[in-house]
Structure 1
Amino acid sequence: MIKIKTREEIELMRESALIVSKTLGMLAKEVKPGVSTLQLDKLAEEFIRDHGAIPGFLGLYDFPNTLCMSPNAQVVHGFPTKEPLKEGDIISIDCGALKNEFYGDHAYTFEVGEVDEATKKLLKVTKESLYIGIREFKAGNRVGDVGFAIQEYCENHGYGIVRELVGHGLGKKMHEGPEMPNYGKRGRGKKFKEGMTVAIEPMVNMGTHKIKQLKDGWTILTQDGQPSAHFEHDVAIVDGKPELLSTFKYVYEALGIKSNEEDEFRHEFH
């Protein structure tokens, strides 16, 4: 079910989203060779609780951790483990926080040390496709417009778009309507209206779009073992236009990256 939010509710959602953004920023300094994803998970849980929120994933659908940690060929929903990260790995960190009854849900794929050029390009194109999709999330457009824009951009670069996993509406529940696939046809699907809030999250594979699931019932991998990238933002429709609630600003500050990619989606309202 799609829940339309008031301006006040959108501001509460921004608080939750920004706690996740700051958590990812804190983790950006810690992601390096030799660190285990379980160590990162503990840091994230402490950080979220210290900021007056509850880890959004912990216990949700019986998930046992604060973070979904998905390295290399894992697409999403990987468990944190004691295994240390290695030079050249990539790691998708997906994080949720619950505050004031609203969820934030936000992800970034990090490079571990020096990563090869082909993988760097996969990450770059996937992140670019996220903003290309967000641009289509505006009043009067439809779900298929976002999916089509992401799919076209990524497939033009020769990548596979995961079909079985999708973005989603977000609010007092982690998963509300509408589902937000990263593929589709223009003009199809639910129409976007003022006050809608969603998590848009391209999941893009270097090779085939096909995936498989481990016996743990959670971890999703690419079928061909090639790397997968995942970036996610929380977005609201305000004055008919997409308004970012989450930000990669804290990640970029930690990593020394300069970027103005988010500027067009910040029309701060109060």
Structure 2
Amino acid sequence: MDVTAYLERIGVERPRVADGAALRELHRAHQTVVPFENLSIHLGEPISLAEDDLIDKIVQRRRGGFCYELNGAFAMLLEALGYRVVRAAARVYGGERLGPPFDHLALLVSTAEGGGPWLVDVGFGSHSVYPLEFTSRAEQADPGGRFALVDAGERDVDVIKDGQPQYRIERRARSLADFAPTCWWQQTSPDSHFTRGPICSRIDGDGRISISGRTLILTNGATRSEVPLGTDEALLSAYRDHFGIVLDRVPSLPRPTE
């Protein structure tokens, strides 16, 4: 992997020391530049979890992705910089129900000297701006909200944001290949929220900028504004201007049916 090219993609100089402070900078920069997006699903593009394909999409083609892609690629960058990374499976809460196994990929990251671990997640849409201390059970304030990590059973941990459960994470190390079946399910099932419509979102200053369907959404604290994108030209221009994503057609495949 071309570490220099990846760091240039997210606008960060190579850290002199792979420590907690550098991890915070990398975490925020990645979410600011590389969008959380599911456009490939609605463009009919296959999603590959092969390492070379992930780096090509995010670094060379300057696209984003969803959890398996974003955290999968970020894990490789962190390891190349000297961090120790555990790829951990999680199940996302939908109300009070948990999603399927391998529903989400998150990272547990430590320094080579044993600092951490931190919960690192650049692939969950609107989540924590900075890594969370994985062993702490105190509330953790973050620009993205109030977070708490709560033990669930003997080994799992629930991630809570502003009092609402987000996902339940395992501690066991997994390989990226373990997520391939659920990645396929996320792309094809009518029960997957990713097949219901295109989304593209990233951190923008102290807020977020998103495109959901044909609506541009700007949020900053309690302030939210929506701008309809009524034409294909307006939508494609918004993807280009706000996310650097150049498309030759609108992502609009119909939702799968049973």
Task: Give the alignment's TM-score, normalised by structure 1.
Answer: 0.30
Query: Which of 1 and 2 has higher RCO (CA within 8 Å, sep 6+)?
Result: 1
Task: Give the alignment's TM-score, normalised by structure 2.
Answer: 0.31
Task: Give the structure with the larger strand fraction.
Answer: 2
